A and B are shown apart, each in its own frame.
Chain A
Amino acid sequence: MSPKAKAQLAREHLDRALPAVEAGAYTEAVTWLFVSLEAAIAAIADQHGVSTPPKHWRKVEIAEELFNKGHISFDFGPVLRALNDARKEAIYEGEEPELGGRSLADLAADVETAVGIAEAGS
Chain B
Amino acid sequence: MSARPTSAASEAPVIPREVVAEVRLLIPPRLRAAHDLVCIRARETGAEALLLTGSTARGSRTSISDLDYHVIGVTIPHDDLPADLDIHVVSSGLVRTRLKEGDDFTQWSLRFGRVIFDSGIVNDSLRLIEQRGLWPDVSRKADQAIKSLKIAMAMVQSGDQDAAVEQVRTALTLAARWQLLAARRFPLSRAELPTQLNEVGLSDLAGGLAATITGHPQLEELAQFLSVVQRLVDTTTVARVPPVSSHAA
**Which A residues are within 8 Å of any B CB, using their own CB?**
1, 9, 12-13, 16, 27-28, 31, 35, 38-39, 42, 54-58, 60-61, 77-78, 81, 84-85, 88-89, 91-94
Query: Which residue of the partner chain, among A12, A13, A60, A93, contacts B83 with CB atoms under 8 Å?
Result: A60
Contacts of B160 in A (CB 8 A): 9, 13, 35, 39
For chain B, the count of residues having a C-beta within 8 Å of the partner chain is: 30
Contact, CB under 8 Å: A38 / B140: no
Closest B residue, CB atoms, query A61 = B83
- Please report the C-alpha to C-alpha distance between residue A77 and residue B174 in the assembled complex, in whole angstroms: 27
- Please report the C-alpha to C-alpha distance between residue A28 and residue B154 in the assembled complex, in whole angstroms: 11
Contact, CB under 8 Å: A81 / B79: yes
Q: What would be 10 A-B contacts, judged by CB atoms less than 8 Å apart?
A: A9-B163, A54-B162, A57-B84, A77-B83, A81-B79, A81-B83, A91-B144, A91-B148, A92-B174, A94-B143
Contacts of B82 in A (CB 8 A): 57
Q: How many A-B residue pairs have CB under 8 A?
A: 64
Contacts of A92 in B (CB 8 A): 105, 144, 170, 174
**Chain A proximity of B151: nearest CB distance (Å):** 6
Contacts of B66 in A (CB 8 A): 57
Contacts of B165 in A (CB 8 A): 54
Contacts of B21 in A (CB 8 A): none
- Please report the C-alpha to C-alpha distance between residue A56 and residue B216 in the assembled complex, in whole angstroms: 15
Contacts of B159 in A (CB 8 A): 9
Name B113-149 residues within 8 Å CB distance of A: 140, 143-144, 147-148
Q: Would you list the 9 A-B pairs with minimal beta carbon distance, nearest first?
A: A57-B83, A57-B84, A60-B83, A35-B163, A9-B160, A94-B144, A54-B162, A93-B105, A91-B148
Query: Which residue of the partner chain, among A27, A54, A58, A89, contacts B147 with CB atoms under 8 Å?
Result: A27
Contact, CB under 8 Å: B140 / A94: yes
Contacts of A91 in B (CB 8 A): 144, 147-148, 151, 170, 174
